Amino acid sequence: MIGPDAILWRDESLVAVLKPAGLLTIPGRTPGAPTLREELERLVGERLLVVHRLDRETSGVVVFARSEEAHRRLCLAFERREVEKRYLAWVAPGPVAPGGEIVQDLVPARRGFVRVARAGEHGQRAVTGWTLLGPRGEGALLEIRPLTGRTHQIRIALAEAGMPIVGEPHYRSPEGVRPRPGVRLFLHAHRLAFAQPATGEAVEIEAPPPRELER
């Protein structure tokens, strides 16, 4: 499912790849389903270590470590929020403000989903910043800056804010705005920036949106 052109960055410590929508990062609930890790390991001919993941429906940059030491340092960087993450999302309807920050406490829900914590529940704090890039048809294109790394954080944050991502199949807006069916989830991990684990040099990796999102 992926070819050599999907590799965005490769050095002695890591490999970064453009994950297509519809492909699991690692094995999930479906036995035998192909995964990005397996595809990339076949492509590069070596064992790789998982540093982070993207949802099955989300496309964009995913980084794998090539050694145990690189894996340890990269995982620590994500845990300590030393990795700058940028996503692109097309939402409908468009926002009424140029940007903002969404702060929520999230708790696990059924079948691997999450929900906003109710009064009295203790959840994990999720902080999601966003900036309006411009109108797109009946919606708008946003740049998203997740300051934490919770499951489905961006998807539920935008839905709860009344700006569900176009193609979102699960999370509904409390204002009654329903996701638009018939298209893939328009959420793309556009950019990662972090310190190279061996040298400390700044690394910036960008993934252009896939063709179906450009269209």
**Residues recognised as catalytic:** 55
**Among 2, 14, 155, which residue's Cα sits nearest to residue 78?**
14
The secondary structure of residue 143, as a DSSP letter, is: E
Task: Dig out the tokens for 185 from the structure.
Answer: 């989830």
Cβ 34 vs Cβ 44: under 8 Å: no
Beta strands 114-116 and 187-195 are unpaired
Task: Say if CB 151 and CB 170 are below 8 A apart.
Answer: no
2 touches 20 (CB < 8 A): yes
| Dist. CA 192–CA 27, nearest whole Å | 23
